[in-house]
Structure 1
Amino acid sequence: MRIFKRLIRKIIIKTDRYIRRKNYDPVRQSGTFYEKRYLPAEVSLLRAGNFTLFSYFSKPLIRELKNQIDLNLDEDQKKDKAYITYIEKEFIKSYLFNRMQPNEFFLYRLYGKSLSEREHWLSDRERWDVLHQRFGTAIHSEINDKLHFYSLAKDFFKRDACEVSAITSLESFVDFINRHHDIFVKPLEGYYGQHTYKLRVNNRKEASNVWKKLSDHGRWIVEELIIQDERMAKWNRSSVNTVRIPSFITAEGEHRILVPIFRAGCKGKIVDNTSSGGFYASIDPDTGVISSDGVDKQGQYVERHPDSAVKFKGWQVPEWEELKSICERLHRSLPP
């Protein structure tokens, strides 16, 4: 077994080195790079779709795949061994050919899609490669750090925040609690709304207990609780429902918005992530009107929010022009 593990690791390392040596462009060449057989012959061991052999490479990756299978498949699918084997083999292809992680594999519903169809999807790993190439590892890591980004864009957040970790003091956290008893807690480097908490801390004793539990388990950012606009709250009152606006600055200095996304949580959840049962929908960037039905974590479309019955398509996002203005001003305030 140790020989197999070493072999798989060598294959992956050799593949990554080969990609760098050939100046592989992950945006233009995803999928076709592998289809043209540029990779070393040894990778055929993995391309064959042998899940048992592949599992020796990365146990954490396989654990995450099994977790995503549990989250995304219904009970009948989970009991179907042939279907699970099919999903596992399809994931191996997506991981090798498109560098997809388990959550992306299910989010984009890549199982059953051809290699040419999968080329239309950009994985996080490919996106990170592009960002690293463009900005360098250090700058990208800084932007990915929630607390560092908060310090860069503090004037736009309009809320107080502090770090809790083994290197921060209890007194700084107590001072924060004296200003804000209702708080929202999330890991500094977390994703998908995992390990987030909404707490009320009333006094120093409670603050000390919270600080101890958090500081013993990594780095956290603690924010004052947001009270959202009633027009947004009607979608789901237990979560803050949000708008994501992806944008970029052109070489000519023009600010461009891609496809904004509206997100709404589900009843009882404190985050609006689809991984926690939430929904997302596309927004027309010119008008701020939702232009699609809602979509859940399994890619299923819904006309109305199942809890609040608010219809997605045609709903006007409040203060849209101001949102776009804030987005541009924030973007231009960041380091080039």
Structure 2
Amino acid sequence: MNKGDLCNIIRKCYPKAFGIRKMLQRLKIKRLNNQLLSKDIIKKCEEDESFKKSIVDKYLNKERSRSLKPITDEMETMIKNVSHYRDIEDKDSLRTDMIFHRLAYGFLPSEYASFKLEEKTKEEIAEFVSDIDTFKFGYSVNDITELQYIVNKADSYKQFTKYFKRDVLIFDKHTKWDDFKSFVEKHRIFIKKKINSAQGNNIELIKVDEIENIEEYFNKNKNISKFLLEELVIQSEEMAKFNSSSVNTIRCMTMVMKDGSIEVPYCFMRTGRNGSFVDNGGAGGIIIGVDEKTGIINTDGFDEYKNVYTEHPDTKVKFKGSQIPKWNDMLELCKSIAKEVNDIGFLSWDMSYTAKGWVVIEVNGIGQLIGPQIVMQRGIKSEIDELIKRMKLVI
């Protein structure tokens, strides 16, 4: 069991009595704020490049550099894959600026690249919602204990089973051989998903006929971790036209207002590349903006390496103007499910359109706000601040 799993288990035990849960949520937000540089240091860094470099070097060379390793790894991926960055001669200054934007404002290197922060003024940068901003928002409107039942994909599936509309088996050390055998006999190809996976990571397409000894596979894998085994989703022709190898999904963000009404301020579509079975931007997919009122695609496509596409690069299907089928049905479904969830104000639903209608692929407790800002090519900080004023806070 890793540290994250242990934290999730502990958070499920937080009591509401005496305001303990609220106090712990405020502490969580305070810790997020403490990850950032003070305003005085930020101001001095913005005025003095050499001072900025010294601050970044200080953080990279001290013990905190261990927590920055995922950030520096992502940074190197961006520098390697973004064509504009490959042409920059002074990559050390670029690296310093990327890390500074993480330390000062909470931006991931992928956000730095996608939002083109190197080209933005201080005022423009302030309008973008960063990774840390997103988590602060999420912990302001989502109860920290109830959130764990969304984060854990097994718990999430149990909560929303009827909206998945497909067979799912929770696969761990308690799974019986007969249940597993029945599942694989029925589903010769299925999805294996780690219960705490995100951004397309730890997701496998399993073909039973390629497994030499299925009972040996069962005994070995059930003791490794906890997984969901899911029946393969067959998307509709209208959605498959973008890319048939991946299940192309709609990310629908629901927010609960103080009066109990549900609003959907942002939606976008994700489609994979030819041969890939996942559509996540972090896994090489393309994201495209969708008008949340009409379901009409209204932007070009973007990947996380700053590439822009007017059409799908493999299938040549044009993005702008395409209509997502049965759009109102999806909106109403997401809104109605969101009303069933207690003390959670912000959810992101990954939805697929199939012969069975719209189905839930998965639910995200604090869905990243990088997507809307990429497709709209602008920051939404002011809009989120206005939404927060009308939402029920849990802190």
TM over 0.5: yes
Query: Which residue in the other structure is 1:90 paired with?
Result: 97
Query: Which residue in the other structure is 1:13 paired with?
Result: none
Report the structure, 1 or 2, having the larger strand content.
Answer: 2
Partner of 1:142, secondary structure, is helix
Letter in 2 for 1:322: D
- Range that drifts further, 293-302 or 133-142: 133-142
Task: Measure how far apart 1:229 and its partner are.
Answer: 0.3
Query: Which residue in the other structure is 2:332 paired with?
Result: 325
Task: Measure how far apart 1:74 and its partner are.
Answer: 4.1
Q: Hey, what's the Cα distance between the residues in 2 that align with 1:79 and 1:312? A: 28
Counting aligned pairs with the same residue, the percent is 24
CA contact (8 A) 2:195 2:228 kept: yes
CA contact (8 A) 1:47 1:92 kept: no
Q: How does 1:242-281 map to 2 (within 5 A)?
A: 242-281=249-288
CA contact (8 A) 2:302 2:309 kept: yes
Q: How does 1:97-176 map to 2 (within 5 A)?
A: 97-176=104-183
CA contact (8 A) 1:90 1:112 kept: no
Letter in 1 for 2:56: N
Query: Which residue in the other structure is 1:292 paired with?
Result: 299
Letter in 2 for 1:73: K
Letter in 1 for 2:54: A
Correspondent of 1:208 among 194, 208, 215: 215
Query: Which residue in the other structure is 2:347 paired with?
Result: none
1:188-225 deviation per Cα after TM superposition (whole angstroms, max 9, x unaligned):
11222123211222599743343345335432221000
CA contact (8 A) 1:214 1:220 kept: no
Letter in 2 for 1:141: Q
Task: Flag the 1:250–1:212 CA change in 2: closer, same or farther, 3 A.
Answer: same
- Range that drifts further, 113-122 or 180-189: 113-122
Task: Measure how far apart 1:265 and its partner are.
Answer: 0.8
CA contact (8 A) 1:26 1:130 kept: no
Query: Which residue in the other structure is 1:54 paired with?
Result: 60
Task: Measure how far apart 1:111 and its partner are.
Answer: 3.5
Q: Hey, what's the Cα distance between the residues in 2 that align with 1:114 and 1:213? A: 54
Structure 1 length normalisation: TM-score?
A: 0.79
**Structure 1: runs of 5+ lacking an equivalent:** 1-19
Task: Measure how far apart 1:313 and its partner are.
Answer: 0.5
Query: Which residue in the other structure is 2:15 paired with?
Result: none
Task: Flag the 1:245–1:63 CA change in 2: closer, same or farther, 3 A.
Answer: closer
Task: Measure how far apart 1:251 and its partner are.
Answer: 0.9
**Structure 2: runs of 5+ lacking an equivalent:** 1-25, 44-49, 344-395
Task: Flag the 1:95–1:287 CA change in 2: closer, same or farther, 3 A.
Answer: same
The runs of at least 4 aligned residues of structure 1 exceeding 6 Å deviation read 23-27, 44-47, 75-81
Task: Measure how far apart 1:78 and its partner are.
Answer: 7.0
Letter in 2 for 1:256: E
C-alpha RMSD of matched pairs (Å):
3.4
1:148-177 deviation per Cα after TM superposition (whole angstroms, max 9, x unaligned):
111111111111212223454444322322
Task: Measure how far apart 1:326 and its partner are.
Answer: 1.0
- Range that drifts further, 309-318 or 245-254: 245-254
CA contact (8 A) 2:245 2:277 kept: yes
Q: How does 1:222-261 map to 2 (within 5 A)?
A: 222-261=229-268
